[in-house]
Amino acid sequence: MSELLQLPAWQALQQHYSKITLLTMRDLFAQNPNRFQNFSLEGNALLLDYSKNRITQETMQLLYQLAYESELSAKINAMFSGQAINYTENRSVLHIALRNQSQQAIYVDGIDIMPKVRSVLSHMREFVSVVRNGLWKGYGGQRVTDVINIGIGGSDLGPKMVVQALQPYQTKDLNFHFVSNIDGADIQSVLNKINPETCLFLVASKTFTTQETLTNAHTARKWLLDHYQDKKAVASHFVAISTNAVAVKAFGIDVANMFEFWDWVGGRYSLWSAIGLSIALAIGMDNFQAMLQGGHQMDEHFRTADFEKNMPVILALLGIWYHNFFQAESHAILPYDQLLSQLPSYLQQADMESNGKSVNNQGKTVDYSTGPIIWGQSGTNGQHAFYQLIHQGTHLIPADFILPIKSHFNIGEHHNILVANCFAQTEALMLGRTEAELRQQGIDESVLPYRVFSGNRPSNTLMLEKITPKTLGSLIALYEHKIFVQGVIWQINSFDQWGVELGKQLASKILPELSQTEVSENHDSSTNGLIDYYKSYYRSINR
């Protein structure tokens, strides 16, 4: 049995679980009128209500005990002090340094990294001001109207999510586009909309070797050169964000227009770095700094607050409670704000690429479940799609409801209706509806069983004042730290991603085979069969 399953707190939770399954939240709320006060927490312009969970004070005490026994405090200190906690790549994990607003030095290999961080921020500030003021000229002398971020994974999802979320702060002078997919439809649909004379491509890639990004960037480069017929035009229309100066130069991008970041920034934690250049161009550098400040405030909260008052820790422990004890396989992210519509996709990578691991820090296969499946959609759209299954299906799906108190769009009753729906959903999930209640309403006996809601379905509600650069920064950092805490408890490395390698390697082996005429023999019969079917069908329709 693994170390984790032998921890006294884990074993106690196992025992406690059988007691909890006998309780309903409906009863717990009826017995304790202060349940909301007892299980909610405010800070950093965020309110976390976790009272609608299948927990008692004892549950929480046992979960905190699990965090202590997992030496969480030491692990937090290890991250913040720059230790190489990404032990399979021998790297520090210091996205917190990118938003460090204190004068505190942060060391990697004995060198303070803060001067470099500040220097890139100044480079970004200078560039953002030049572009936003129309002083950056294309090769033909025109100002920029369209910014196209070419990147994938962490070099796409974070910036795309934030640019969308902070749309009310966006300059009207620039249009923003995000190209990620290798499918030519993605880049082509953007190229169709923009003018080569007024476009600016940001090639965002930590490694600058990612096939999708490089292929899209080369297609964009060719499109630009087809227009200008002069290679010198590349420098006026392309900038790079990368850790790989050699590859950037080889692409033809002036290294003076390269925005650097470092191997201690994980791709999925990189929106705070120069990878966030599209964000800074959209909302301006002061707003970008406000987002960093929001992130930093959450870092300070996470680093200093007792576990009992620590939002990321509480969210992480509740996640473990459902995932490992109730065997809930997934977790839904349900933002009640259209501006946050990309948040579920963003958190999908942040969480699933981080904690989708099955080997622990001792190199042993784990004997417990790790990372949940993260999914979701903005409310109220989700209500008319998958909430049926959350309410009456056979799966237990813990969910986070995220709601701003004030909307950026004051249109009639829209916001109140949205808010009412959000609260109603968490109430319905918790309370359910009994046969007796249905009878009282005069519901026909023949349909009674179909109309019962079992209830007792857990949710957290996160309320923030308004979506601003600062509150969004705090919200993102909250989830980053939640993911980290879960990784610590599961004793896995949340910061590598070896699981994406195999597919990449096999794709590069298959690619040349697609243009060969011989029958495929290099793979299993299914893969050979698919390759051959594709090739012969393709040839037959392209004669």
Q: Which residues bind ligand F6P (CB under 6 A)?
A: 152-155, 205-207, 210, 213, 267-268, 353, 497, 500
Burial of 512 from C-beta contacts in 10 A (0-12 / 13-18 / 19+): exposed
- State yes or no: is 218 an active-site residue: no
Candidate list 19, 232, 364, 384, residue with the active-site label: 384
Which residues are paired to 258 by β-bridges? 240
DSSP state of 538: H
Closer of 213 and 520 to ligand F6P (Cβ)? 213
Structure tokens at 61: 């005490």
Closer of 61 and 219 to ligand F6P (Cβ)? 219
Burial of 442 from C-beta contacts in 10 A (0-12 / 13-18 / 19+): exposed
Beta strands 111-112 and 459-464, pairing class: unpaired
Shortest distance (Å) from residue 311 CB to ligand F6P: 25
Structure tokens at 29: 């709320």
Candidate list 353, 357, 415, 481, residue with the active-site label: 353
Closer of 76 and 150 to ligand F6P (Cβ)? 150
Shortest distance (Å) from residue 207 CB to ligand F6P: 3
Structure tokens at 125: 């500030």
- Where are the alpha helices (H) located in 103-156, listed in sequence order? 114-132
Task: Give phi and psi for 510, each to the nearest 5.
Answer: -75, -35
- State yes or no: is 222 an active-site residue: no
Distance CA(284)–CA(122), nearest Å, equals 13
Structure tokens at 261: 């970041």
Which residues are paired to 148 by β-bridges? 177, 201
- What value, to the nearest 5°, has the Cα angle with vertex 141 and ends 135 and 142? 70
- State yes or no: is 357 an active-site residue: no
Cα atoms found within 13 Å of the Cα of residue 308, Cβ hemisphere only: 8
Distance CA(343)–CA(330), nearest Å, equals 16
Question: Rounded to whole angstroms, what are the CA distances from 224 to 200, 221, 464, 534?
Answer: 10, 5, 43, 32
Task: Give phi and psi for 201, each to the nearest 5.
Answer: -95, 130
Q: Which residues contact 229 (CB under 8 A, 6 or more apart)?
A: none
The SS3 of residue 293 is helix
Candidate list 232, 504, 509, 521, residue with the active-site label: 504
Distance CA(155)–CA(267), nearest Å, equals 6
Cα atoms found within 13 Å of the Cα of residue 466, Cβ hemisphere only: 11
Shortest distance (Å) from residue 450 CB to ligand F6P: 43
Q: Give the chain's radius of gyration (CA, Å).
A: 25
Question: Rounded to whole angstroms, what are the CA distances from 167 to 3, 39, 65, 504?
Answer: 47, 33, 42, 34
Shortest distance (Å) from residue 59 CB to ligand F6P: 34
Shortest distance (Å) from residue 210 CB to ligand F6P: 3
- Give catalytic residue positions: 353, 384, 504
